[in-house]
A and B are shown apart, each in its own frame.
Chain A
Amino acid sequence: MTTPATQQPRLRTWSIAGAGRRRLTEYEIVTGKFHYHFGRQPAPFDLDPGSAINQWYLRYREGSPLRADDWEGFKDPAQLSYRRYIALQHDREIYAEGVVDHFEAADHDARLDPAWVAVLGRLYLPARFAFHVLQIASLYVGQLGPSAAITNASFFQGADELRALQWIAYRARSLSLAHGADLADSATARAIWEDDPAWQPARQALETLLLAYDWGEAFTALDLVVKPALDAFFKEAFADLALANGDGLTAQLLRESGVDTARNQAWATALARYAIAARPENFTILTEWVDKWRPAAEGAAGGLAEIFAEAPVPVSPESAVATVTASLGNLKEEIRS
């Protein structure tokens, strides 16, 4: 062995993730080729190839029917690095705080119709259980994602769900101050989530979603069916109902959360389109999963929509379900296009 004599030529970009002559964006610099372990032989991780987590990834990630020659080509349309995500959400939380501040200054909660507060107690406050499932399911899709672009977008989405959940928790306490301690009682909210017939189809869909371990199916069930259905239900149909019942605060917080939904749907549909372009058979695979999960998601919306009839200014449950169905239909069109 001898001392090397040559100096390494200057590098303008990552040697393994360059983009030819084009300069990499910050997003590309901190995202491309981070998942060195996807497809590695003999196993993704440097333990015994037969050890439990290696086998889990080989079965549910590398072994998923949803395949592409190269997942690295997929990019989050929002091109979010951590830094950009945090800067974006910092601004959005300042906006949300402003919304809450505005309504609190007008003593908004105290003026709400008790009959409407009852609807909030039955439908809105227990929704934190539903958002928690969406949160942890996103973190599952993220940890099984075959590329960092998919993983990071999923992690940010999981954090968005925690954001939505925490504003519901905030509102639970806030409403309890004007309308009774029961609204901030965990046992009450849990009992509704566990036993109220209106919640059971949603609870069943969400509990079952946690067992979708194949990453392709988990992504499809969560991001193309169950989450879009619940987001359309809460952030569109229920936000409209809140507005009709004089609850501008609930409506505005949900619509603010809808901004996160729009961003998350954009990456999810982009990923579905990428998968289909990369391998046409993926269209059938995705469609079969969508068809499998859709009845449960629509059933969830149908069950919850029954509560719409109890609002002081009611909306027919059918129209709420129609909002969800239309939203899922639009999503399917977007994936196909």
Chain B
Amino acid sequence: MPRLSRSDWYDLSRDTNWTFRYVTEDAVFPEELSGSHRVGKQQWLAWDEPYKVSYREYVHNQVTKDTTTYSLKNAISRSKVFDELDPGWKSVILAHYGAITMPEYLASIGEARMARFGRAAAWRNTATFGALDEVRHGQIQAFFPYGLLEKEPRGDWALKAFHTNNWIAIAVRQLFDDMFVANDAVSIALQLTFTLETGFTNLQFLGMAADAIDVGDLEFGALISSIQTDEARHAQQGEPTIKVLIDNGHKAWGQFLIDHMFWRSWRAFALLTGLSMDYYTPLESRKMSFREFIEDWVIKQFAEQFRDYGLDFPWYWDEFVRELTWYHHAIHTVVWNWRPTVWWNPDAGVSPAEREWLEEKYPGWNRTFGRHWDVITENVRTGNIAATFPETLPLACNICQLPIVRAAGVLAGAHTDPAPLRHVHEGRLYLFCSEPCKWIFTQRPDRFKGHKSIVDRFLTGEISPPDVGGILAYMGLSEPEQGQDATGYAWANGG
């Protein structure tokens, strides 16, 4: 082996900062792509990545990870493991592939934004590896569901979802475009790596990998845990970036970016992880409830991050904590009711034993959501399946793009008024699910104002015919792709 170790020479590979002579600094780092002009050129040079890796180490480490993960896939794909998985768990991974594969790949563009427009060579080098990581995550999470196509055709949505106007795809696309594809380098570091990756996904992937192993899905477990090890490395770009901002008197801006994206991340988590953990994962494999996960892991993690950097809890913290008891239950109900509009089979997850678990984890669940499910259960038992489908489109929030479920919030005692929050900007009416979503919009309306929610599109005649059939076609769902109850309503009959 070469004699010198990384620490002997590493600093000489990240000292390539200089003063431009033939062009201007502003022209090389335009503010709309860099987002760094609040802090001076020299001050950015303090940027120091906590986790250091050389190119040599990177390729040697990654080849081992890839070999392990792909070999496992090859071994398992010849087995009957997938066929024997719990139907709810199959929904977990189908939802995941459709909603997450493409954002992971898109994150390579966000990383490349930092690798070109970050203001320190150390940062640009770190983000170069980040860009490679995210190509890996996009590709591996496409390749695995591709291998499932013969058994599960809706693995197709790993590639297809973002080409459609499916409402979940719109919500996820709008979120991640805001977070890292159509964002500047500094904001990406704070919003993608500090807020989402460090605060949410790094923890979630650990938990999800453990759950996968527990339900017997070794392939998905190996995939997710392998991805998590990359995330843990490149997520660390957020810390030095917030440190530079704070050290140079721009804590308020950092706080704003984090407050903005913490709420949005929470919304996406409630949708994807909330449903997976509390309704889709088989009861016997649930280690904790979604609420416990957020309280014990995410909140704890953020409390440490906020403390370490002298940041404040977001101004809407109380509303966020209150939502832990009800919001994702309401979203679950909407998704299950509108099951033909999603590419997975929503698992109602309300068998007697599951309801008991829900009541234990969320005291009062039976009194609020349980009553709603009582009606659905009765309809199913009497064979009146048609009555379990809704007839009207729910209103959608103009920031998170998710259904506005404030009526459920009233039932849960969190809100007093079921009506959506309203805001008129330049003559157009916008609707919001919550004060934080409204706040996100009103802070920077030019960023969001021209975007249309699925309901806006319906009301302005973009969806035709303007009926359920038209909506499903607009969302790209052929009849066989449309979601059905995951267990064929077994839960309604005591199963």
Show the binding face of A for B, using Cβ within 8 Å: 1-4, 6-17, 26, 29-31, 33-34, 36-37, 42, 44-54, 56, 81-83, 85-87, 89-90, 93, 96-97, 100-101, 104, 128-129, 132, 135-137, 139-140, 142-143, 148, 151-152, 155-156, 158-159, 162-163, 165-166, 168-170, 172-174, 184, 186, 189-190, 193-194, 203-204, 207-208, 210-211
Given A47-B177, A81-B139: A16 and B2 within 8 A (CB)? no
Contact in complex: A34, B128 (CB < 8 Å): no
Looking across the interface, which residue of chain B has its beta carbon closest to that of A105?
Answer: B3
Contact in complex: B448, A173 (CB < 8 Å): no
Residue in B2, B27, B391, B451 whose Cβ sees the most chain A Cβ within 10 Å: B2
Question: A137 CA to B116 CA in the complex, in Å?
Answer: 7
Whether B22 is near chain A, meaning CB under 8 Å from some CB there, is: yes
Residues from chain A with a CB closer than 8 A to the CB of B446 are: 48, 50-51
Given A9-B153, A82-B135: A136 and B116 within 8 A (CB)? yes
Residues from chain A with a CB closer than 8 A to the CB of B28 are: 207, 210-211
Looking across the interface, which residue of chain B has its beta carbon closest to that of A48?
Answer: B450
Residues from chain B with a CB closer than 8 A to the CB of A204 are: 21-22
Q: Is the interface of A mostly helix, strand, loop or mixed?
A: helix
Contact in complex: A190, B15 (CB < 8 Å): yes
Residues from chain A with a CB closer than 8 A to the CB of B138 are: 30, 34
Looking across the interface, which residue of chain B has its beta carbon closest to that of A135?
Answer: B128
Given A48-B450, A53-B182: A173 and B480 within 8 A (CB)? no
Contact count A vs B, C-beta below 8 Å: 266
Question: A260 CA to B167 CA in the complex, in Å?
Answer: 43
B162-206 at interface with A (beta carbon < 8 Å): 162-163, 170, 173-174, 177-178, 181-184
Encode B1-39 as 1/0 by CB contact (under 8 A) with A: 111100011111101101111110001100011000000
Whether B385 is near chain A, meaning CB under 8 Å from some CB there, is: yes
Residues from chain A with a CB closer than 8 A to the CB of B128 are: 135, 139, 158-159, 162
A98 to chain B minimum Cβ distance, whole angstroms, is 9
B440-471 at interface with A (beta carbon < 8 Å): 446-451, 468
Residues from chain A with a CB closer than 8 A to the CB of B13 are: 128, 162, 165-166, 168-169
Contact in complex: B112, A190 (CB < 8 Å): no
Question: A2 CA to B105 CA in the complex, in Å?
Answer: 35
Q: Is the interface of B mostly helix, strand, loop or mixed?
A: helix
Contact in complex: B131, A142 (CB < 8 Å): yes
- Nearest 5 pairs of A and B residues by beta carbon: A8-B480, A169-B13, A52-B32, A30-B139, A53-B182
Residues from chain A with a CB closer than 8 A to the CB of B112 are: 139-140, 142-143, 155, 158
Question: A47 CA to B391 CA in the complex, in Å?
Answer: 29
Contact in complex: A6, B480 (CB < 8 Å): yes
Contact in complex: B156, A14 (CB < 8 Å): yes
Looking across the interface, which residue of chain A has its beta carbon closest to that of B477?
Answer: A4
Contact in complex: B108, A151 (CB < 8 Å): yes
Whether B55 is near chain A, meaning CB under 8 Å from some CB there, is: yes
Residues from chain B with a CB closer than 8 A to the CB of A26 are: 143
Contact in complex: A86, B62 (CB < 8 Å): yes
Contact in complex: B480, A194 (CB < 8 Å): no
Looking across the interface, which residue of chain B has its beta carbon closest to that of A165?
Answer: B13
Contact in complex: B484, A4 (CB < 8 Å): yes
Neighbour of B146 across the interface among A14, A51, A85, A162, CB < 8 A: A14
Encode B420-456 as 1/0 by CB contact (under 8 A) with A: 0000000000000000000000000011111100000
Contact in complex: A11, B340 (CB < 8 Å): no
Residues from chain A with a CB closer than 8 A to the CB of B184 are: 52-53
A321 to chain B minimum Cβ distance, whole angstroms, is 21
Residues from chain A with a CB closer than 8 A to the CB of B1 are: 97, 101
A255 to chain B minimum Cβ distance, whole angstroms, is 17
Whether B154 is near chain A, meaning CB under 8 Å from some CB there, is: yes
Neighbour of A82 across the interface among B4, B113, B139, CB < 8 A: B139
Residue in B8, B19, B154, B340 whose Cβ sees the most chain A Cβ within 10 Å: B8
Question: A208 CA to B389 CA in the complex, in Å?
Answer: 60
Looking across the interface, which residue of chain A has its beta carbon closest to that of B468?
Answer: A1
Whether B132 is near chain A, meaning CB under 8 Å from some CB there, is: yes
Contact in complex: A207, B15 (CB < 8 Å): no
Whether B237 is near chain A, meaning CB under 8 Å from some CB there, is: no
Residue in A49, A96, A170, A207 whose Cβ sees the most chain B Cβ within 10 Å: A170
A153 to chain B minimum Cβ distance, whole angstroms, is 11
Residues from chain B with a CB closer than 8 A to the CB of A210 are: 23, 28
Contact in complex: A208, B22 (CB < 8 Å): yes
Given A56-B32, A83-B66, A136-B116: A162 and B125 within 8 A (CB)? yes
B94-126 at interface with A (beta carbon < 8 Å): 102, 105, 108-109, 112-113, 115-116, 121, 124-125
Question: A179 CA to B171 CA in the complex, in Å?
Answer: 60
Residues from chain B with a CB closer than 8 A to the CB of A29 are: 142-143, 146
B154 to chain A minimum Cβ distance, whole angstroms, is 7
